[in-house]
Structure 1
Amino acid sequence: MPHDPSSGVTFGAYMRGGKPLGQGRSADVVLGERTWLTQDQVHEGRTADGVRFKETLDQLGHQVVEETLPDGQERKHVRLNLQ
């Protein structure tokens, strides 16, 4: 039977089978491999002028670009997603 908002029972209590918080049904845990949606997205390569780069995009949308110039100098650029 689906949750009825007019019953006076909160959805959380309904999911716990009417039991108090901390008892009854708890959060489900997925056991297994992480999917591509839960892993950082990494892209590596070279630009046209020979600069090696590694671009990482995490789950929250933050982007980190690490560059290695042909002379060995390293740079890191970070763009934060402020949502």
Structure 2
Amino acid sequence: MAKPNKKGPQRTVDVLCARCKTRLYLYRKGGKGALVKCFKERIVQDFTTTAGHCPGCDGQFARETLVRGTPAFKMIGGKVIAK
């Protein structure tokens, strides 16, 4: 399988916690589908203190994994909002 494009898209989205609306990431997202995974190399700003846990409510919103050989966060359904 092909690796994701390192440069990535130019459009950025804010990734927010669905429960407490705390800002988690500023992410370069491609496409118009739902946010299923976040490649670590595309995260522009990281507002979290612990990987995959919200700093506001301390809820887990993602799990660390490898997608096509690249480190990424796999989002748990319904835990994040992308604006």
So what's the TM-score if we normalise by structure 2?
0.23
Q: Which has the higher helix share?
A: 1
Q: Which has the higher contact order (CA 8 A, sep 6+)?
A: 2
So what's the TM-score if we normalise by structure 1?
0.23
Larger radius of gyration: 1
